Amino acid sequence: MKLVSWNVNGIRSVFQKGFREWLARENPDIVCLQEIKADLDVLTPRYTEVNGYYSFFNSAKKKGYAGTAVYSKVQPLFIETKLGFDRFDTEGRFLKLSFPDFTLFNLYTPNGARDKRDMGYKFEVYRRLFSVFKDSSRENAILAGDFNIAHTPYDLANPKENQDNTMFTPEERRQLDILLSLGYIDTFRLKYPAEKAYTWWSYANGAREKSIGWRIDYVFVSEPLKATIQDAFTRKEVVGSDHGPCGAILDIPFPVTVRPVYAKQPIQSVLL
């Protein structure tokens, strides 16, 4: 199974920049999107009826802000959209899809803000997520998305200059230490322990072309799935957003079921 995660910084924008063509070339079984910035009522069939995929959306209450989506070749058994934390839930930052062989979490965690005014919010989100992830760690669980934290000095181009900056402060990095201690594996680091590869670049000063970036988007799997990790990757060359896709290839059964050419399923909102 190939799973891809991508913060698209606007689903309508990335569709105009060749998303459908990219999807056909990459051909993932599942793609998780973050920061879709679109309300359900403006998501026309152009966005919801993508050939060969079921589509699921969790939009923010605030227009043009945050939100998540999943396209999947297989219909999940059940979908949840809420963590039980009102601010987080109204921003559409969470999609949990249950499949027969694993559970997938698509996440868009808060950034914390450059001036750190939202750090308390960010840490509270992680605290609440950890209680959910701890319960899932003994099962087959996949966590994909924009975590808004560069974990180690290998995960950004200029660690010394950024050690006090948002997304690389010691307390933020500790959140990913805790996640790993719960029994999760960073699929990319397992395969490439010391490789400098990034998933986000500033739009300023040609940062992407100069490889001055940050790896803040991840695919983690629980310990029971460690043996299934065949490969992991980042896609710097895929443009359309200030983020690039990342993903993993896992030896997990993911059969293609009989389905209509286009299929969109309603979201069931369930309080965790």
Residue 253: per-residue pLDDT: 87
Instruction: Count how many residues are written for the chain.
Output: 272
The residue type of 80 is E
Distance, CA of 172 to CA of 140 (rounded, Å): 26
Which pair of tokens denotes residue 232? 């992991």
Phi/psi for 37 (5° steps) reads 55, 45
pLDDT tens string 149-207? 999 999 999 999 999 999 999 999 999 999 999 999 999 999 999 999 999 999 988 99
> What's the pTM?
0.93
> Residue 159 to residues 77, 135, 257: CA-CA distances in angstroms?
42, 33, 46
How far apart are alpha carbons 60 and 79 in whole angstroms?
A: 17
Q: Which of 101, 115, 135, 146 is catalytic?
A: 146
Domain ranges of the chain: 2-264
Angle separating helix axes 119-136 and 170-181, nearest 10 degrees: 10
Identify the pLDDT of residue 256: 56
Of the chain, the end-to-end C-alpha distance in Å amounts to 27
CA pair distance 141, 133, nearest whole angstrom: 8
Per-residue pLDDT 10s for the chain (272 aa) are 999 999 999 999 999 999 999 999 999 999 999 999 999 888 999 999 998 899 999 999 999 999 999 999 999 999 999 999 999 999 999 999 999 999 999 999 999 999 999 999 999 999 999 999 999 989 999 999 999 999 999 999 999 999 999 999 999 999 999 999 999 999 999 999 999 999 999 998 899 999 999 999 999 999 999 999 999 999 999 999 999 999 999 999 887 554 444 444 444 433 32
pLDDT of residue 41: 85
146 is catalytic: yes
Domain 2-264 has CATH 3.60.10.10: yes
